[in-house]
Each structure stands twice: as structure tokens, then as C-alpha cells.
Amino acid sequence: MIEKYEAAGRIAFEVLQEGKRLAKPGLPLLELAEKLESLIREKGAKPAFPVNLSLNDIAAHYTPEFQDKAVIGEKDLLKIDVGAQVDGFIGDTAATVDFSGENGKLVEASQSALEAAISSIRAGAKTGDIGAAVDSTMKSLGFRPIENLTGHSLAQYELHAGIEIPNIRTPHSRELKEGDVIAVEPFATSGAGRVGEGTKVEIYSLLSQRPVRGREARRLLSHVSANYRTLPFAERWLYPHFSSKLLLHAALRELVLSESLRQYPVLREVKGGLVSQAELTVVVEKDSARILTK
């Protein structure tokens, strides 16, 4: 099992480095996402979720839509979040690229908080203490952690497997065990320290296979179950398999209303503050955390 996490982690790390190399002002986000997702497949894994390319005050859940025309701007702050899976075992990693050259301290805040969090992880560590390390590190650098986003444990075909790693001091805490696999994911902001859901949704995942009436909805449910299981997928991934955009949208709507699918709305900082992100996947060992996404 750990060998598959290591394989997925290595591929996710390599693809993230390629994303940082390829990303530049003027590059379409759709082109970058598709190149990175193809590279994951070429390396022998599958995407664990659509590549997230979140700009500026967007913290998470932005993946380009079908025929998206958005491009990277000259002064954009870009978060690249990459997940690879091998037989359902996931490597999840992210980094922030500052094209303006003006937000180095903000990028440093999330990276330094990530390092502080990982240095505090070991068997028996409390998740609240890890959150405190993130919180104090960011605030010492003049920024706020995003309090309603967390790191998360991973399991086979489960991106969020039950344990949350907070980015703030919290009285609610769980004890980590040797062998737990955790995606540690601090978000730093110059804003209020919270995100809210927008109206744009391009990412979904399977919740349950409930009975649905529509033929296209049934076909879509079968396709999702067979190809993605419970891992997140992008709407744009579905277009090659459905001839009609209208029918696809109707099927997605029916599956959401029936609670067969979960939606992942784009998350923005509530006061419009810029957001940086850093993320690595680790396995908890007796006296430390071993990084898998490297």
C-alpha cells in the first residue's frame, strides 16, 4: 500500500514541477491543466482529481471549463494543485507561483507554515497542535490562515478520508497514528481568513448510486462509477462521451438533485484577499513524518 502511495506521490511531485516550469503569463489555463493531466497518465497513474489552477483570491476548486479562454495574467498569483492516483492510492501536492514578484512574503507564509506543520507530525501528535503551528507561523509573518480550509487524511479512492488537519488553533483534536497518510495543506491570505462558495462549479464526485429516472442521467452515473469511483472529476472530462451539452447538463443537474453527485463550488477569499497554498503528502511514522510527494 505504501509503495503505491509513494509511486503516486512521486508522479504528483514530478507533474507539479513541470507545471511550475510551464506556467507563464499568456498561457491558457485549459492548456496547462490538460498538459498536466496528460502527463500524469503518461507516467503510469491517473488524476486523483482535476488539476486545480486557482488565481489570486480563489483558494481552491477552480479547474478550467470546456473551451475555457482564461489565461494567466502578468501579475497573477497562481496555485497549482496536482493529485495522482495509483490503484486509488493518492499523492496530493500544491505550490504557488507569483508572476508579479510582489507577493513573495505571502508565498513564504504558506510554505513556512507547511514546514512547521510537517515538523510537528509524528505518531501520537494532535491535529490541534499541528493547526497551532500553522497558525502561529503565518501570523508571525503578517498573514492569516484560512480557517475553514483544512488538510486531510487520504485512503484508497478517498481524497478526504475523515481526519482534518486544521490551519488554525482549535480545541478539537485527533491523535495521529503511525501509518496515517495525510495531505498537509496550509492556505495563507492577506484577507479575512475565510473562503466562501461561488456559483461556478466544474468539479463533481460520486456520493451514491441512487435510482434516477433519466436515461442520460443513468448513463452518466454508470460512466462516473466505472471511471472515477468516488474521486472528483471535471465536467470537461465528460464531453467526449456525451454528444449533447444540453443533455449532459441536464444529467448532471438530475444527479446533483438526487444527491448522487457532490458539487465542489469555486472557493474565494471572502474579502478578496490574495491566497497562497503549499501542500505535501506525508505518512506518519513513529517519530516524524515522511514526505511522499517528492
Helix 127-140 vs helix 104-119: crossing angle, to nearest 10: 150
Give the separation between CA 279 and CA 187, rounded to whole angstroms. 9
What are the backbone dihedrals phi and psi of residue 263, each rounded to the nearest 5 degrees, phi first?
-100, 150
Give the separation between CA 134 and CA 127, rounded to whole angstroms. 11
Give the separation between CA 223 and CA 251, rounded to whole angstroms. 12
Residue 277: HSE in the Cβ half-sphere, 13 Å Cα cutoff:
30
Catalytic residue annotation: 81, 92, 152, 160, 185, 279
Distance of CA 214 to the CA centre of its chain: 31
For residues 94 and 81, the answer to whether their CB atoms sit within 8 Å is: yes
From residue 200, alpha-carbon distances to 30, 63, 181, 266 in Å are 16, 10, 31, 6
Coil, helix or strand for 289? Answer: strand
